[in-house]
Amino acid sequence: MITRRHLLKSMAVAAGFSLMPFGRKGWVLAAPEAVSRRMIVVLMRGAVDGLSVVTPFMEPNYYQSRRSIALAPPGQTDGLINLDGNFGLHPSLATVMPLWQNKSLAFIHACGSPAETRSHFEAQDIMETALLNTATAQQGWMNALAQAIPDTHASTRALSFGNTLPKIFTGRANVATVPSGITSNASNGAENPRMQAAFEKLYSGHTELNGLYNEAISSRETLMNDLQNEMAASSNGAPRGDQFVVECTKLGSMISRDQNIQLVFMDVGGWDTHINQGNAKGQLANRLSQLGDGLAALTTGLGAQYQNTAILVMSEFGRTVAENGNAGTDHGHGNVAWLMGGDVKGGKVWGRWPGLSQGQLYQGRDVAVTTDFRSLIGAVLSQHFALENEQIGNVIPSYQPDSGLQGIIAV
């Protein structure tokens, strides 16, 4: 049944106003309060290879560990874009270089969760609740943030892009959802058809060898199907990169028209590159190109609102330093996070780089975590929203400030 309150609320939303309580009985229309600070969070579901996003080309072990998927140093054909003489940006991300050059884009390397899990779903839950033990989680940290900062009384104050409400936004505060399209997870052919045809012809006259060959092919196909299924599942329903560009363009336009939008969550999938990851070209390069195009479109659409916006881009964990036998990478640990915005102290790779020599790797295989992702979120809440440590603790339990992030946002 449509009640008078529901009718009034629908009319208010359509008119660009919100409803606020007036005394104990009844409601009055009120203009939403102006947003002075805004935050957009982008979660790259599937564990992006941070060593390909921001590459430590000064590390010999990087090239020794990645014989076929390493990115060439700056200055070479299809080489990295030099950031600071030590790190290089993937060439497919050239569209965000103007943000680096105007010092509104920073990277935080060796960032991630101290949890040991290599499960996509567990790690994503940790990142969305800011709790290492997610069994005790009652809400997502962005919903807790909505409760911690002054309510603007706008129906569009908190937005989640996607067809279901993500864990990061679950809780008492109201959140509006913006439905998004989901593209199919197309299979990436891991085998060379011409090579297969040649082997089939070679073994066709030998019954025993042909049987062994067919058995090996069957096992290989089973393995590849399992990997493809995992890669699809790791996206957890998030749209692929082409849809991300559309959504970023949409969001920039929405905020330019409705400046009451304050907290936004978006996700993008397709980063679980176990097979044929590629280097300057290939599946990862294609997805990074779409990511960069989307973020560039978002900042363009924000216009003057970019100045008071903080955009945080993260992934649940990184990938192994060494490539695997399928010219891809497996689940790792430390990763690279992005922070963008008008007040961000960018043009710098933040964090304490741990190194890639064998003794410096986490469990002998991964980039170590030297910056807890919760401390990075806390730094944004402290420096961007001016929250006190006690308030931040209500959003991020067990929050510990990181002195190495002091000044990453200069308001």
Q: Quick one: tokens of 117?
A: 């899990």
The letter for the amino acid at 124 is: Q
Q: Quick one: tokens of 108?
A: 């935080």
Whether the pTM exceeds 0.75: the reply is: yes
pLDDT score for 198: 63
Helix or strand run (H / E) with residue 223? helix 207-233
**9 contacts 20 by C-beta, under 8 angstroms:** no
Bridge partners, 319 (sequence order): 331
SS3 state of residue 38: strand
Q: Quick one: tokens of 59?
A: 């590390």
**Cα-only R_g, the chain:** 23
- The whole-angstrom distance between residue 267's C-alpha and the CA centroid of its chain comes to 6
pLDDT score for 227: 42
For tokens 């140093």, the residue is 73
How many residues are listed for the chain in this entry?
411
pLDDT score for 27: 30
What's the CATH code, domain 37-183+235-405? Answer: 3.40.720
For tokens 């779409």, the residue is 290
Scored b (16 or more CB within 10 A) or e, 62-99 reads beebbeebbbbebeeeebbbebeeebbbbbbbebbbeb
171 backbone φψ class: left, alpha, beta (φ>0; ψ -120 to 50): left
From the number of C-beta atoms within 10 Å of its C-beta (0-12, 13-18, 19+), residue 232 rates as middle
pLDDT score for 221: 55
Question: What residues does each domain of the chain span?
Answer: 1-31, 37-183+235-405, 186-233
**51 contacts 34 by C-beta, under 8 angstroms:** no
Q: Quick one: tokens of 24?
A: 């104990």
**169 contacts 175 by C-beta, under 8 angstroms:** yes
Q: Which residues, given as ranges, of the chain have pLDDT below 50?
A: 1-31, 182-191, 219-220, 222-224, 226-232, 234-235
Q: Give the end-to-end CA distance of the chain in Å, rounded to a whole number.
A: 48
Separation CA 402–CA 411 (nearest Å)? 18
The letter for the amino acid at 83 is: L
Separation CA 356–CA 398 (nearest Å)? 29
pLDDT score for 315: 98
Cα torsion 142, 103, 410, 110: sign: positive
pLDDT in tens, 113-136: 999 999 999 999 999 999 999 888
289 backbone φψ class: left, alpha, beta (φ>0; ψ -120 to 50): alpha
**361 contacts 321 by C-beta, under 8 angstroms:** yes
